[in-house]
Structure 1
Amino acid sequence: MADRIDVRVAHTAELDAADLADARALLYRVFDDMAEDDWEHSLGGVHALVREDGLVVAHASVVQRRLLHGGRAWRVGYVEGVGVEARLRGRGYGAAAMAPLERVIARAYDFGALASTDEAMAFYASRGWQRWQGPTSALTPAGIVRTEDADDCLFVLPGSAAALERTGELTCDWRDGDLW
């Protein structure tokens, strides 16, 4: 990792329009299938922006969601918008973005959760995130609906108070776009 990096951790409300535009542009460069709903999911929580020589080269955010598991609703720090410039992957930039958000999760939420790409699964596992092994669902306007496509990509970061049975069902709250 370069010596001239800066990690800024701030709530969406504390970021100016240029910071948000830079983070959004990075995610659109990193992901071929990035959509406006995906960007919207990244807003309203705490962001970590990693800059190298003034350019945002990595981003992640954590937002609050309600997930149902084991007969109760949990306050979860849900990680969104994790992206690193392709030329810099594997050099610590993703870790620089995730570390402060994992501290936020540990102090403010029952547990953390995220949906991973295939390429990033080993990265999250190396940071202590655990793969969810049970079925997934979403609480939709039509009721609870299974989300089989998410069964193989979800990870959780258990908190000290969370009694999670990772083979049980996990149900997310409703939102537009990708549910997980």
Structure 2
Amino acid sequence: MITTAHTSGVDPAVLAAARKLCDDAFDGDFADEDWEHALGGVHALVWEGDELIGHGSVVQRRLLHGGRALRAGYIEAVAVRADRRGRGHGASVMAALEGVVRGAYEVGALSASEDALDFYAARGWRPWRGPSSVLAPGGPERTEDDDGGVFVLPVTASLDLDGPLACDWRDGDVW
């Protein structure tokens, strides 16, 4: 079963379980900032009985492209328990989050790990081919290391996938 809820409506014990799920799924490479990025939006939670086995969230961010500040639904903290992978749970999480993106945002965006590039592409997410950057406190900064890993899901915004794309600043990984 899959449920969705805003962070404010998720029991603190469930949020703690989701954080632990992400810590385990990312083999300890999931920082406090990564979890902070996943809060304040809509969570998709996959349950087997009373066990949480999958999680993802979508939060609002601003992306700058083509002279506009786009309202973006940004996907965060997509994780499935290791012993439950390969059974469609990640796809269920993404389907729920994509529904939120399509219903509330101009564009969806995410930063994909190398292992997940094909997964997102197969779902219709499009790799951003242009240069990426961040609006840092000191001004715009290129984020070359993120080039090739940023994906978008066009909803209503006109996008030039070869043009520049900038995200708003945040602590930790900016994309």
In which range does the TM-score fall when normalised by the shorter chain?
over 0.9
> How many residue pairs were aligned?
174
Q: In the TM superposition, what are the counterparts of 1:82-161 in structure 2 within 5 Å? A: 82-159=78-155, 161=156
Name 2:68's counterpart in structure 1: 72
What's the CA shift string for 1:13-60, capped at 9, x where partnerless?
000111101100100001131100000000000000101121111100
Cα distance in structure 1, aligned partners of 2:113 and 2:49: 28
TM-score (norm. length: structure 2): 0.98
Name 1:42's counterpart in structure 2: 38
Quick one: which amino acid aligns to residue 106 of structure 2?
Answer: D
Cα distance in structure 2, aligned partners of 1:47 and 1:136: 26
Cα distance in structure 1, aligned partners of 2:14 and 2:5: 10
Name 1:15's counterpart in structure 2: 10
TM superposition shift of 1:91: 1.1
| Identity %, equivalent residues | 57
Quick one: which amino acid aligns to residue 118 of structure 1?
Answer: E
Name 2:57's counterpart in structure 1: 61
Cα distance in structure 2, aligned partners of 1:86 and 1:153: 23
Name 2:23's counterpart in structure 1: 28
Q: Secondary structure at the match of 1:50?
A: strand
Cα distance in structure 1, aligned partners of 2:147 and 2:73: 19
Give the unaligned 5+ runs of structure 1. Answer: 1-5
Give the unaligned 5+ runs of structure 2. Answer: none
Cα distance in structure 2, aligned partners of 1:62 and 1:47: 7
Cα distance in structure 2, aligned partners of 1:151 and 1:60: 23
Q: Secondary structure at the match of 2:159?
A: coil
Quick one: which amino acid aligns to residue 21 of structure 1?
Answer: A
Please identify, of 113-122 and 81-90, the stretch whose mean Cα deviation from structure 2 is larger: 81-90
Moved over 3 A (4+): none
Cα distance in structure 1, aligned partners of 2:164 and 2:77: 24
